[in-house]
């Protein structure tokens, strides 16, 4: 097939198709040169190939003469015009790599090129012959404005350019940005990086460089905010509308802060409380101009869903003195749509049971005139569920579900404790939610009530916190007499717990670190820590009339409350070989401990393995715990108190929007105590590593930019449910062992 798709006969005489560029370093000593970064300076990029095969180029050649119809569409959409080797581009790339080497301290290094031609294909090898790098000997400053020099000295220890380091023009540019940002955050509104010049004096014999940081300009003015004008009714289509009213609004953030004043200008009723902007607009009269506060204000205004656009501008005004000048700040906001509605209908097929679900959603972006977002969703559905002959038939659609969810997002911090400094720095948001869900089944009815009250904020561009001090989830089950009999005969306590009344009342906290830059494909890592506890606050009232006792367990309103602690750590590393070839590694550990008023974790808080996003060689919730073997004849869901999992995935392009992946998953779940329902599932240090499951597989991903559809096929290579000497299943695999997974988005 591959030989039939060869392109040699189509390549014009005297031309070759470029299929790869390689950068190598010819040096016996170690260097700081990155071949990956050097590759960025190669101007002519090769055609994508699959082990030397060029499917899109072949399609292009086969359809290039099509002038209309399907053939023309195939040529334009699937085919790719070949990249022919160009000697001038190679010469230009060589010079650019040499310039790059000069910029990182390897002055006068040489780059040689070699073209390898075979079967009308070309590979180009760029060989770097590095010289000895230059190191920085001394760093000095030449600044006429002593006030500016004093400010720079405040951050001298944070400067990226250090004595003893290898000379690097890119690091010097970072220092230029750091100085500029610091000055602009301390009143120097008109200061730009163009004022900063690095003078470099090199010593050829010693390979040393002396650097002088020069700030041009005899004097740079500092600026103070004079007035802040806020226009909450700005119209971008008619920006020159005459303002009919100007209202001053004075406020204090707390006793520790002085009184501030904003001037509101508008032509009609703004329909928003002015105090909404107290924690949003961080530029205050009498304070030095700060570019960081402008950025924080933009971010905070982005959280005001009432507004679709925002703009901040500054005007110089007469006044001030030789020390400081004055600026007026203008904040303009354009209103967006107030009300939103959404209707969804879908058909379902769960194990052959057909049904229909529908929902109606409403959103108001200014429910209390403070840009608070109210969301209300009504849901309902029916399903024709198959039942056993001994169950009374209640009609075709014997399963019903209905519910309502409501939430309010407050774009500010609601707390009895002001914490003004924290609020101004991080602009935390507050969320209040509640929900009710009813499920009517042939054997039982289940009613679930949920409620949360929490905060989320970003401590930096990489760090996010989510804190929910109040988390309520209560389940009430009304079984039929037949179902009560079935549950009385069930020996698996965790399955019985699924259909037992229980209440979760506690708190959650999540810490997220993600240093990914969405605008570039560079290495990054992600870490998330989740902590959750329940029942501790309620346990303080055990000996009060609020709490009753039943069979040595405590209940509130007739429902036993759960008491546990649960935590989980998720660490991910992404390494890019090219912008589209990446290795993704995930390591995950989680554990939960029930105590006090609980024997086991609630079913919905237990850990599981298998499914679309982890341990893909097993069906959803069908792996473990430990070496447990399900010989009951029923498809029970396997759960545990502890989870350990490792995932490795190599992602690569195929052609156009189709991408591929090769992956492997290693892990399992365990119970912390001996459980008769899951015999062999208890975690033991001397055995757990022998109970790790292993799978491997291949995936296809259809990346349409705005969403990604994923298909994964995996097989279990090592199954701990088998005896010790039979757990590796590679030689015993059959077609029926393949597990197919479908998902939206990447698994991690």
**The CA-based dihedral angle spanning residues 155, 158, 163, 165, taken in that order and rounded to the nearest 10 degrees:** -150
CATH annotation of 222-335:
3.10.20.310
Q: Which of 133, 109, 104 has its CA nearest to residue 26?
A: 109
Q: Which of 197, 189, 201, 200 has its CA nearest to residue 142?
A: 197
- For 568, phi and psi rounded to 5 degrees? -150, 140
- DSSP state for residue 655 in the 8-state scheme: E
Q: Are 478 and 444 in contact (CB under 8 A)?
A: yes
How far, in Å, CA of 172 to CA of 109, rounded? Answer: 20
pTM for this prediction: 0.77
Only one residue has tokens 């014997």, namely 398
How far, in Å, CA of 736 to CA of 277, rounded? Answer: 61
Checking phi first, is residue 303 left (phi over 0); if not, alpha (psi -120 to 50) or beta?
Answer: alpha
Residue 182 CA from chain centroid, whole number:
29
Q: Is the dihedral of CA 515, 177, 317, 242 positive or negative?
A: negative
* pLDDT at site 725: 87
Q: Burial of 194 by CB count in 10 Å (0-12 exposed, 13-18 middle, 19+ buried)?
A: exposed
Structure tokens at 110: 């040489």
Q: Burial of 683 by CB count in 10 Å (0-12 exposed, 13-18 middle, 19+ buried)?
A: buried
Q: Which CATH class is domain 3-129?
A: alpha beta
- DSSP state for residue 441 in the 8-state scheme: -
How far, in Å, CA of 415 to CA of 468, rounded? Answer: 13
What letters, b where the CB count within 10 A reaches 16 and e where it falls short, cover 442-477? bbbebbbebbbbbbbbeeeeeebebebeebebbbbb
Which own/partner contact pairs does 53-61 have at CB distance under 8 Å and 24+ positions apart? 53/2, 53/5, 54/7, 54/17, 54/19, 54/82, 55/5, 55/655, 56/80, 56/655, 56/656, 57/7, 57/17, 57/81, 57/82, 58/5, 58/6, 58/7, 58/10, 61/7, 61/10
Q: Burial of 356 by CB count in 10 Å (0-12 exposed, 13-18 middle, 19+ buried)?
A: middle
Q: Which of 392, 356, 360 has its CA nearest to residue 376?
A: 360
How far, in Å, CA of 56 to CA of 526, rounded? Answer: 35
Tell me the residue length of the chain.
748
Residue 352 CB neighbour total at 10 angstroms: 8
Q: Assign domain 135-215 to its CATH architecture.
A: Roll (3.10)
* pLDDT at site 621: 84
How far, in Å, CA of 269 to CA of 273, rounded? Answer: 11
My answer on whether omega of the bond before 625 falls inside 30° of 0, hence cis, is: yes
Q: List, in order, residues 6 or more apart from 674 with CB less than 8 Å away.
A: 682
**3-class DSSP assignment, residue 89:** helix
Q: Are 516 and 502 in contact (CB under 8 A)?
A: no
Only one residue has tokens 């799978």, namely 695
Residue 319 CB neighbour total at 10 angstroms: 10
How far, in Å, CA of 661 to CA of 347, rounded? Answer: 31
Cα distances from 502 to residues 448, 450, 499, 557, in angstroms, run 10, 12, 9, 11
* pLDDT at site 162: 92
* pLDDT at site 391: 57
* pLDDT at site 531: 96
List the chain domain ranges.
3-129, 135-215, 222-335, 339-442
Edge-to-edge strands of the sheet including 259-266? 245-252, 259-266, 222-231, 324-335, 307-317
Same fold, 3-129 and 222-335: yes
How far, in Å, CA of 630 to CA of 585, rounded? Answer: 31
β-strands 581-594, 259-266 pairing: unpaired
Q: Are 250 and 350 in contact (CB under 8 A)?
A: no
Q: Are 315 and 283 in contact (CB under 8 A)?
A: no
How far, in Å, CA of 280 to CA of 262, rounded? Answer: 12
- DSSP state for residue 156 in the 8-state scheme: G
Residue 237 CA from chain centroid, whole number:
35
**The CA-based dihedral angle spanning residues 315, 318, 320, 325, taken in that order and rounded to the nearest 10 degrees:** 30
How far, in Å, CA of 607 to CA of 628, rounded? Answer: 15
Does an H or E element contain 64, and which? none
Does an H or E element contain 405, and which? strand 399-410
- DSSP state for residue 725 in the 8-state scheme: G
DSSP line for 573-638: EEEEEETTEEEEEEEEEEEEEE-TT-SS--GGGSB---STTS-TTS-TT-S-STT----SSS-PPP
Residue 192 CB neighbour total at 10 angstroms: 11
**3-class DSSP assignment, residue 569:** strand
How far, in Å, CA of 493 to CA of 499, rounded? Answer: 10
What letters, b where the CB count within 10 A reaches 16 and e where it falls short, cover 557-575? eeebbbbbbbebebebebe
Cα distances from 112 to residues 25, 126, 425, 519, in angstroms, run 10, 6, 52, 32
How far, in Å, CA of 207 to CA of 349, rounded? Answer: 73
Which segments in the chain show pLDDT lower than 70?
1-6, 8, 48-52, 65-67, 77, 204, 236-245, 348-353, 385-397, 491-494, 632-636
How far, in Å, CA of 745 to CA of 595, rounded? Answer: 37
């Amino acid at each position: 097939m591959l030989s039939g798709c060869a392109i040699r006969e189509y390549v014009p005489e005297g031309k070759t198709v470029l299929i790869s560029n390689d950068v190598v370093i010819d040096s016996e000593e170690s260097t700081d040169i990155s071949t990956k970064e050097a590759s960025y300076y190669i101007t002519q990029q090769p055609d994508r190939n699959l082990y030397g095969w060029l499917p899109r180029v072949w399609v292009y050649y086969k359809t290039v003469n099509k002038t209309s119809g399907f053939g023309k569409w195939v040529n334009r959409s699937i085919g790719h015009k070949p990249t022919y080797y160009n000697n001038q581009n190679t010469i230009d790339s060589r010079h650019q790599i040499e310039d790059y080497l000069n910029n990182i301290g390897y002055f006068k290094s040489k780059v040689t090129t070699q073209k390898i031609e075979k079967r009308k294909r070309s590979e180009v090898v760029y060989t770097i012959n590095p010289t000895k790098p230059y190191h920085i000997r001394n760093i000095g400053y030449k600044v006429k404005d002593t006030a500016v020099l004093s400010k720079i000295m405040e951050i001298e220890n944070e400067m990226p350019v250090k004595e003893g380091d290898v000379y690097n023009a890119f690091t010097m540019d970072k220092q230029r940005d750091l100085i500029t940002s610091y000055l602009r955050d301390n009143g120097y509104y008109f200061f730009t990086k163009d004022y900063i010049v690095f003078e470099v004096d090199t010593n050829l014999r010693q390979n040393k460089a002396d650097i002088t940081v020069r700030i041009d300009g005899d004097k740079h003015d500092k600026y103070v905010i004079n007035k802040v004008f806020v226009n909450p009714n700005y119209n971008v289509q008619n920006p020159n509308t005459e303002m009919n009213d100007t209202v001053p609004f004075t406020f204090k953030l707390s006793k520790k802060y002085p009184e501030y004043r904003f001037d509101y200008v508008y032509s009609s009723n703004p329909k928003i409380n002015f105090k909404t902007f107290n924690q949003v607009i961080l530029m205050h009269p009498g304070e030095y101009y700060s570019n960081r506060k402008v950025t924080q204000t933009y971010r905070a205004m982005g959280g005001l869903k009432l507004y679709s656009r925002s703009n901040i501008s500054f005007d110089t005004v007469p006044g001030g003195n030789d020390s400081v000048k004055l600026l007026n700040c203008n904040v303009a906001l354009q209103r967006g749509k107030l009300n939103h509605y959404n209707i969804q209908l879908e058909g379902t097929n769960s194990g052959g049971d057909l049904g229909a679900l529908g929902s109606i959603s409403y959103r108001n972006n200014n429910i209390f005139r403070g840009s608070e977002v109210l969301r209300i969703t009504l849901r309902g559905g029916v399903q024709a569920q198959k039942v056993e002959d001994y169950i009374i038939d209640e009609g075709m659609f014997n399963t019903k579900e209905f519910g309502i969810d409501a939430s309010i997002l407050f774009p500010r911090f609601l707390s009895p404790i002001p914490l003004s400094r924290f609020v101004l720095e991080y602009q935390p948001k507050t969320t209040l939610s509640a929900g009710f869900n009813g499920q009517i089944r042939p054997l039982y009815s289940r009613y679930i009530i949920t409620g949360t009250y929490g905060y989320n904020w970003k401590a930096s561009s990489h760090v996010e916190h989510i804190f929910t001090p109040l988390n309520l989830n209560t389940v009430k089950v009304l079984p039929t007499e037949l179902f009560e009999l079935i549950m009385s005969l069930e020996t698996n306590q965790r399955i019985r717990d699924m259909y037992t009344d229980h209440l979760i009342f506690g708190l959650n906290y999540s810490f997220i670190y993600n240093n990914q830059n969405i605008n570039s494909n560079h290495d990054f890592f992600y870490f998330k820590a989740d902590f959750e506890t329940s029942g501790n606050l309620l346990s303080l009232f055990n000996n009060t009339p609020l709490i009753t006792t039943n069979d040595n367990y405590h209940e509130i309103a007739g429902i036993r409350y759960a008491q546990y602690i649960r935590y989980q750590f998720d660490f991910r590393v992404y390494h890019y070989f090219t912008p589209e070839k990446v290795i993704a590694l995930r390591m995950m550990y989680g554990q939960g401990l029930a105590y006090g008023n609980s024997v086991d974790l609630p079913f919905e808080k237990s850990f599981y393995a298998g499914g679309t996003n982890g341990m893909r060689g097993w069906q959803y919730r069908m792996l473990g715990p430990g070496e447990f073997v399900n010989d009951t004849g029923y498809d029970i869901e396997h759960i545990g108190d502890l989870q350990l999992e490792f995932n490795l995935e190599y992602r690569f392009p195929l052609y156009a929007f189709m991408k591929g992946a090769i992956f492997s998953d290693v892990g399992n779940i365990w119970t912390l105590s001996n459980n008769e329902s899951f015999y062999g599932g208890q975690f033991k240090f001397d055995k757990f590593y022998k109970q790790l499951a292993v799978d491997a597989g291949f995936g296809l991903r259809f990346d349409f930019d705005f969403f990604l559809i994923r298909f994964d096929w995996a097989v279990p290579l090592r199954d701990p449910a088998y005896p010790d000497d039979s757990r590796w299943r590679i030689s015993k695999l059959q077609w029926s062992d393949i597990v197919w997974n479908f998902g939206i988005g990447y698994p991690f």
